[in-house]
Structure 1
Amino acid sequence: MKIGVITFPGTLDDVDAARAARAVGAEAVSLWHADDDLRGVDAVVVPGGFSYGDYLRAGAIARFAPVMQSVVDAARGGMPVLGICNGFQILCEAGLLPGVMLRNVGLHFVCKDQWLRVENTETAWTTRFDTGADILIPVKNIDGRYTASAETVRELEAEGRVVFRYVDGNPNGSINDIAGICSANRRVVGLMPHPEHAIDALTGPSDDGLGVFYSVLDATRSLVTA
C-alpha cells in the first residue's frame, strides 16, 4: 500500500509521517505542494508544521496549493486522508472537515505528551483501537484550539464524529475537549496531536500512534479486495 505524505514550504513533520508509514509496512510516497499528481497513492497524510509560514492564518495558504485540490477530489471519492496538526488546520480550511483552529487559551505554544481517548473506532484511521481506549500521543501547537458553531458541535457529537478527545487536561482549550474529528463518511480524519511521533516506545512516549497507520492499511486493503 502507498501512503502519500505532502511537503509544503514550512512543513516540519513529513519525514516523521513517512517513517510511520514505513513502520507499518507501507510505501511512503513524497508529494510536493506545487504538484497536483498524487502518484497513485492509496491514502494521504497532510503532516504538521507551519505551511507557508502560517503568515496569513494556519493552513489558509496551503489550502490553495495544487496538491490540495487533488486531495480534496480524492477525498470526496473516498480516499482516506489524515491531517495532523497543521494538516488538520489545512483540512478545515479546505472544507474537508468543519470548524476552525484558534490560538491556544493562554496564547502559548504547548508541547507535551498528552493522553487522548479514542471515541470512534469506525474511521479509516482508527479501526485498530478499542472504543474508549486511552492513548499517549505528543501534542505541539500554538493554534490548536478547535472551535465550531454550536450547531456544528452538536452535529459532530450526535453523529459520533468526534474521533479523539483530550483527557487528563485540555492543552489548548478546544471545545468539548475535542482533539480530532472525522468527515461524515469516516474517511477523512484530522487531529492536533502527533501519532507519527508515537510509533516507538524507545524514542517516543509510547507506540500508540502505530494504530492510526495500521488502521489505514486495513481500510485500503478492504477497498482493494472488495
Structure 2
Amino acid sequence: MSQIRDGPRTVKAVETSIEVIQYLRDSDGSRLHEVADELGLANSTVHQHLSTLVEDGFVVREGDTYHVGLEFLQVASYARNRTKANKVSRSIVRKTAEKTDEQAQFIVEENGRGYHVYTYPLDRERAIDTRPGKRIYLHANAAGKSILAHLDEERVHEILDRWGMPPITENTITDRDELFAELERTRERGYGYNREEHVLGYCGVAAPVTDQNDTVVGALAIGGAKHRFEGELMDERLPEQILEMANEFELQLKFS
C-alpha cells in the first residue's frame, strides 16, 4: 500500500498514522475494523490513531466511517505556495494552456518523486489524473525526464535506487542506461517527450524551469491525446511553445 521511508530513526507511531491516512484516502473512507484489517493492526491501536487524528481535524468521522479531514487543505495550501516558483506557476500554467489549446501542468520534484502543483484546465484530459498533489514517477513522463536531465548524475542514481523504474505502461523506459541516454537527448533538445509512457494514448512535451541560480525548480508540461500529439505539432510547434513559456516563467522568477 504505502511506501514507508527507508532511512534510519523513523518513528513507528508516525508511520502508522500516515498509513491510516493513506488508506482512508485510497479507500474513500473506511470503518475502524476495515482499517485495522488492511494494516494488520489491533482495533484498539487503530482507534487510538483515529481518535487523535479526529481531535486534530485531520480525520472526520461520519457515523461509523472515517474520512480524510479538511485540515489537510490548510497544510496543502501552505505547501503549494511555499516557494516563489509555485506561486508564479499558476498564471504561467493557465497562459500555456490557452496558448497551446492543451492541458498544461507545473510539476516539481520532492524526495525523488514528481508532484503536480498546478494543472489547467483540470477536466481537459479525463484519461489521466493530474489533480494538484498527484504523485508520479519521474522516469515515466516528459516533466520528470526534463527535471532528471538537469540534476547531477549522482542524484539521479539516488532517485532510481530508491524508487526504481517500474513499467507504468509497455512504453515506459525501464532500463537505466536507456534512461540516461534519453536524459542526454533531453538536455540537448532543451525539452522532454512523453510518448505513452505514463498512460497509453496520452503524450506530452515538457521543459525544465530554472531559477536565478540555474537550479531546476520544476518542469512546465503540456499533454493530451495521442492523435493530437503527432507530426509537426509534436516535433516542432509544441516544443517551441513550451520552450517559450518556460523562458517566460524563468524571467518572472528571476526579475519579478
Highest relative contact order (Cα 8 Å, sep 6+), 1 or 2?
Answer: 1
TM-score (norm 1): 0.27
Q: Which has the higher helix share?
A: 2
TM-score computed with the length of structure 2 as normaliser: 0.25
Kindly indicate which of the two structures has a greater share of residues assigned to strand: 1
